[in-house]
Amino acid sequence: MKYLHAMLRVHDLEATSRFFTEGLGLKQTRRMDSEEGKFTLVYFGAPENPEAEIELTHNWGSDEDYGNARNFGHLAFEVDDIYATCAHLQSLGVTINRPPRDGRMAFVLSPDRISIELLQKGERLPPAEPWASMPNTGQW
């Protein structure tokens, strides 16, 4: 058996694609548009292990409420510098729901409200502002 990918349904394919590429640095590995099925699939991989993909599924014209799927949980990414990653995401307008106060872990939401956990690679960083005193926001 071989693990292939996790699939996420999204309404705003372009915004969510930008979040994963410009925000997190993933690379688009492939894309498929199905006129017959009225859907688009876009796959992304992290530079260090592109074979473990995230698939975004956009069903054209769907207004289905995907809700706040707390049963899904979250996706997790290891980052080289959690403070720099959070600052970069914040500069793109992403809300840091659980700031990296401990220098180790943060949570953000993608444009389609997918919970993303960011974990510091290696040892936790020393606490630093503005993160150390930033409160939690919303849900993740």
Q: What angle do CA 71, 39, 107 make, to 5 degrees?
A: 35
Element spanning 88, H or E: helix 82-91
Query: Is 61 buried (19+), middle (13-18) or exposed (0-12) by CB count in 10 A?
Result: exposed
Active-site entry in 22, 53, 55, 117: 117
Going by C-alpha positions, the residue among 23, 20, 10 that lies closest to residue 90 is 23
The residues near 66 (Cβ < 8 Å, ≥ 6 apart) are 9, 10, 11, 112, 113
In the annotation, is 117 catalytic?
A: yes
- The C-alpha atoms of residue 95 and residue 39 are separated, in whole angstroms, by 29
Q: Which residues are part of the catalytic machinery? A: 117
